[in-house]
Structure 1
Amino acid sequence: MTTNRKYPLLWEIVLWIGSLVIFYPLAMVVMTSFKTEDEADQLSVNLPSAFHFENYKTVFVQGKMFRALLNSVGITGFSVLFIVVLSAILSFVIMRNRSKLNRAIYKLVTLGLIAPFAALPTVKTLQYMHIYGTYISVILVYTALFMAFATMLFSSFMLSVPRELDEAGVVDGCIGFSLFYKIILPLLLPITVTVSILNFMWVWNEFYYPLFLVNKSAMWTLPLTVYNFFGLFSRSWNLVSANMVIVSMPVVIAYLFAQKYIVSGMTAGAVKG
């Protein structure tokens, strides 16, 4: 018998405690977003005396959320597109030609999983390339940072695709990129959806990297707009909380609707490979 079958009550208690640890701060943020500034300063999970929905209107108007929303959509969309396309093509080349060079390239790419982000060298490199403080610099950094995990997932899934399909495609006249585009890519749909959703959530929520890469408030992504209400000498916790709820909603909705695709994509390659 497994441990969770031996002690079901103990495991339920552990799970409930873990759930409280996760959901308590979330509930506090949601409740605080509807409070007045004085009530929000108490930083409690208590219900507000009245639900002030105008906090969200204030955040959208004063926080310039619409411009930040467009920035987040553009940066996230192009970053995910580059990550998926480049990782899929790279994985196809590496896994279909297991030469020493390709194996070395795979190890070098996946080394990015453990390599820390170095802000100063990255900024200096972007300045040398004359693209620092531009949208393309943020997109390129995201692509480089998140390609490692995407390549690993695509490569694992690629092992489940029979090589006989390649041979059949070559016989039918598919060579090179057309072989990948017409034969292999449709079979990668489950893992493509998984990689797209995961990277969408990571890029959309990212706060640390844009902080170094964006030097104009007009180029802020949604997570950075929290600075509009969190200053050195004043903190409007109710508006900060409303801002956090707005920023998090697209990711929460995406995860709730795509959870089964994430799980199926993550397990498909492991089971078949």
Structure 2
Amino acid sequence: MKTNTAKKIGGNKRVAKDIGKTVAAFVLFLLYMIPFLLVIINSLKRKISIVKTPLSLVDDKGFQFVNYSEAFQEMQFLKAFGNSIMVVACSVALLIIFSSMCAYILVRKEYLACKVLFLLLVSYMVVPFQVIMIPLLSIYGNKLGVLNSRLTLILMNFGFGTCFAVFLCHGFIKTSVPIALEEAALIDGCGPFQIFFFIVFPLLKPILSTIMVLQFLGLWNDYLLPSLVLGKPATYTLPIAIRTFVGTFSSDFGNMMAALVMTVFPVIVVYIFLQKYIVGGVVAGAVKS
């Protein structure tokens, strides 16, 4: 009887603890989602209603869908969307191909230079972008004069994302890609490029998917670097194009909120379909690296 009672009490405590965790997680989720919900709600209201009653659910004159059409035209959404797609796609493609190749060499070659280079790459991950921001712009702008170019932004994104991508690929190759497959391919007459692209590269799908998702989310929402590099409206990405609604003395909050919703929507879609790769790939790439 005493044993059963103890188990029952322990079971009740465990259930209460689980319920408490669930409630806490739900409350934190609501607190986290409030800003996003407010953006969606205010995107359907007039500017005066946003300023006076930002927490009201509906505008006095009903939903203002005109904000979306005006924002679409004024910010040249299609042009900015195309720029964002081009910059993000090219940056991610360069990262996936060259970072995986670099990590493969660093893992398989037992040279001292490879170990030193990997340590330098990992060390660079702790350097904030703000530290090198001014010198970088001074060199690229004043000395080389290559700012206001999407190609420059792509190369910068590639350079800044390489360390993290190499770090993940390095750990994944070291723990999850058996060298026996490469040795068998070498015996069959495959060259180094054939071994990498036909044997190793397909096995990197989980970690490369993780890199793709993380880099896509980060580069799509990036504002600081594009705002420093891109100065011509024809080259604006979506986060920079939203500045169209920010004026010196006033801002068009309704159109701005609508633009934010249209900008975030593609990211949400990508995350929903590829979220399973994030946790699994990060865990796989972070072990024994």
TM-score normalised by the chain length of structure 1: 0.93
For residues 64 and 13 of structure 1, the distance between their equivalents in structure 2, rounded to whole angstroms, comes to: 43
Check 1:4–1:235 CA distance in 2 against 1; reply closer, same or farther (3 A cut). Answer: farther
Which structure: larger Rg?
A: 2
Shift of 1:269: 4.0
2:99 alignment counterpart: 87
The answer on 1:45 being equivalent to 2:45 is no
The answer on 1:139 being equivalent to 2:151 is no
2:183 alignment counterpart: 167
29-38 or 116-125: bigger deviation? 116-125
For residues 40 and 222 of structure 1, the distance between their equivalents in structure 2, rounded to whole angstroms, comes to: 23
The answer on 1:126 being equivalent to 2:126 is no
Shift of 1:87: 0.6
For residues 18 and 46 of structure 2, the distance between their equivalents in structure 1, rounded to whole angstroms, comes to: 43
SS of 2:178's partner is: coil
User: Among the aligned pairs, what percent are the same residue?
Assistant: 28
96-105 or 26-35: bigger deviation? 96-105
RMSD: 2.0
Q: Deviations over 1:108-150 (max 9, x none)?
A: 1222311111221111221333322211110111111111111
Q: Report the AA paired with residue 187 of structure 1.
A: L
Q: Map residues 110-259 of structure 1 onto 2, 5 A cutoff.
A: 110-117=122-129, 118-127=132-141, 128-159=143-174, 160-259=176-275
For residues 107 and 53 of structure 2, the distance between their equivalents in structure 1, rounded to whole angstroms, comes to: 52
For residues 230 and 119 of structure 2, the distance between their equivalents in structure 1, rounded to whole angstroms, comes to: 31
214-223 or 38-47: bigger deviation? 38-47
1:26 alignment counterpart: 36
Shift of 1:16: 2.5
For residues 84 and 43 of structure 1, the distance between their equivalents in structure 2, rounded to whole angstroms, comes to: 46
Shift of 1:253: 0.7
240-249 or 174-183: bigger deviation? 174-183
For residues 25 and 105 of structure 2, the distance between their equivalents in structure 1, rounded to whole angstroms, comes to: 43
2:89 alignment counterpart: 77
Q: Map residues 100-111 of structure 1 onto 2, 5 A cutoff.
A: 100-111=112-123
Q: Report the AA paired with residue 38 of structure 1.
A: I
For residues 169 and 13 of structure 1, the distance between their equivalents in structure 2, rounded to whole angstroms, comes to: 54
For residues 200 and 144 of structure 2, the distance between their equivalents in structure 1, rounded to whole angstroms, comes to: 35
Gaps of 5+ in 1: none
For residues 111 and 215 of structure 1, the distance between their equivalents in structure 2, rounded to whole angstroms, comes to: 32
Q: Deviations over 1:58-83 (max 9, x none)?
A: 00101111111111011111100111
Q: Is the 8 A contact 1:112 1:148 kept in 2?
A: yes
Check 1:6–1:96 CA distance in 2 against 1; reply closer, same or farther (3 A cut). Answer: farther
Q: Is the 8 A contact 1:214 1:220 kept in 2?
A: yes
TM-score normalised by the chain length of structure 2: 0.88
Q: Report the AA paired with residue 140 of structure 2.
A: L
Check 1:111–1:6 CA distance in 2 against 1; reply closer, same or farther (3 A cut). Answer: farther
Q: Deviations over 1:196-253 (max 9, x none)?
A: 1111111111001111111212111000112111122111211111111111111111
